[in-house]
C-alpha cells in the first residue's frame, strides 16, 4: 500500500510539473522574434508555432504562421517550411502576405536545385512555383526576381538534358542523344545550351552517316548563332576547313556547299 501510494504521489507530482501554462501572446511572439534575431531558427520556429497553438484566433497567430515558415526556411528545413506555407495559403488566401507566401514557397524549392547530374524533380517544382508567383502576382515586388529565377531554372533543366545527351553520345547511342538534344532545341529555345545542342546534333548525324540532316542543322546553327564557337566547330566538321566569314547572300555558310 505504501509503495502504491508513493507511486501515485510521484505521478501526481510529475503531472503538476508539466501543467500547461498559457503565456501572453506578446511575450511568446517577442521571444520568438528574439530567437530569430539571434539566428536560433529552430527555437524561433517552435516559438512562432507556440503563438499559433496558444492563441489561434489572435491577429498574432496569422503572422506567426508565416514567420514560422520563414524560420524553417532560414534553417534549411524546406519541407517543414513548405508545409507551413501551404497551411497559411489555405487558411488565409486573401491575406496581404499571400504573395510573399507563394514566393517563399518557390524559394524553398529553388534553394534545393542540385547539379545537373542528379534528378531534377525539385527543379521542375521550383519552376512551377516561380511561374505561379509571376502568374498570380505580376505586379508584386517578388515577380521580378521570380522571373529571373524562372529563366535560371529553365536553363538548369536544359543543362540536364545536355548532360544526358552527352552521355548517350559518348556511349555511341546516337538516337538517344539526338532525342535529348532536340528536347533542348524545341523546349528550351531561350537557354544558353541551344548552340551546343545544335552542334552536337551535327556530330550525331555525321556519326550516323545522315549528311543531309547534319547540313540542315549546321545551317540553322549558322543562321542563328553565326559568331559562336559551336558554329565554327560545325563548319569544320562539314567542310574540313577553318572558319571563314559567312556569305550573307547565300543565307549562311552551309547553303550551297553540298
248: CB partners within 8 A, 6+ apart: none
Q: Outline where DSSP puts E strands in the chain.
A: none
Domains, the chain, ordered by start: 25-95 (1.25.40.10)
- 58 and 48 in contact (C-beta within 8 Å)? no
Residuewise pLDDT in 10s, the chain (258 residues): 444 434 444 444 444 444 556 788 888 899 999 999 999 999 999 999 999 898 988 889 999 999 999 999 999 999 999 999 999 999 999 999 999 999 999 999 999 887 665 667 888 999 999 999 999 999 999 999 999 999 989 998 999 899 999 999 999 999 999 999 999 999 999 899 999 999 999 999 999 999 999 999 999 999 999 989 999 999 999 887 555 444 443 444 444 333
How far from chain centre, in Å, is Cα 73?
14
pLDDT score at 117: 58
pTM, to two decimals: 0.73
pLDDT score at 240: 77
pLDDT score at 8: 41
Of the candidates 239, 224, 214, 226, the residue with the CA atom closest to the CA atom of residue 190: 224
Cα–Cα distance, 146 to 131 (Å, whole number): 7
- 137 and 145 in contact (C-beta within 8 Å)? no
pLDDT score at 166: 95
Amino acid at each position: 500500500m505504501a509503495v502504491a501510494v508513493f507511486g501515485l504521489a510521484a505521478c501526481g507530482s510529475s503531472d503538476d510539473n508539466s501543467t500547461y501554462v498559457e503565456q501572453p501572446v506578446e511575450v511568446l511572439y517577442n521571444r520568438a522574434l528574439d530567437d530569430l534575431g539571434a539566428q536560433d531558427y529552430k527555437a524561433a520556429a517552435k516559438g512562432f508555432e507556440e503563438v499559433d497553438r496558444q492563441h489561434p484566433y489572435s491577429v498574432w497567430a496569422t503572422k506567426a504562421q508565416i514567420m514560422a515558415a520563414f524560420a524553417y526556411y532560414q534553417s534549411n528545413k524546406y519541407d517543414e517550411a513548405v508545409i507551413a506555407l501551404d497551411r497559411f495559403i489555405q487558411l488565409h488566401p486573401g491575406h496581404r502576405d499571400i504573395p510573399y507566401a507563394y514566393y517563399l514557397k518557390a524559394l524553398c524549392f529553388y534553394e534545393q536545385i542540385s547539379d545537373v547530374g542528379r534528378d531534377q524533380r525539385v527543379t521542375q517544382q521550383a519552376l512551377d512555383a516561380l511561374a505561379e508567383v509571376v502568374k498570380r502576382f505580376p505586379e508584386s515586388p517578388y515577380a521580378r526576381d521570380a522571373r529571373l529565377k524562372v529563366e535560371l531554372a529553365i536553363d538548369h533543366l536544359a543543362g540536364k538534358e545536355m548532360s544526358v545527351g552527352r552521355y548517350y553520345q559518348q556511349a555511341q547511342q546516337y538516337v538517344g542523344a539526338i532525342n535529348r538534344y532536340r528536347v533542348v532545341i524545341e523546349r528550351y529555345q531561350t537557354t544558353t545550351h541551344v548552340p551546343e545542342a545544335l552542334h552536337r546534333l551535327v556530330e550525331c548525324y555525321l556519326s550516323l552517316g545522315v549528311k543531309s540532316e547534319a547540313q540542315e542543322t549546321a545551317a540553322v546553327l549558322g543562321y542563328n548563332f553565326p559568331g559562336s564557337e559551336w558554329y565554327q566547330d560545325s563548319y569544320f566538321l562539314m567542310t574540313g576547313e577553318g572558319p571563314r566569314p559567312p556569305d550573307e547572300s547565300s543565307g549562311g555558310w552551309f547553303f550551297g556547299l553540298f
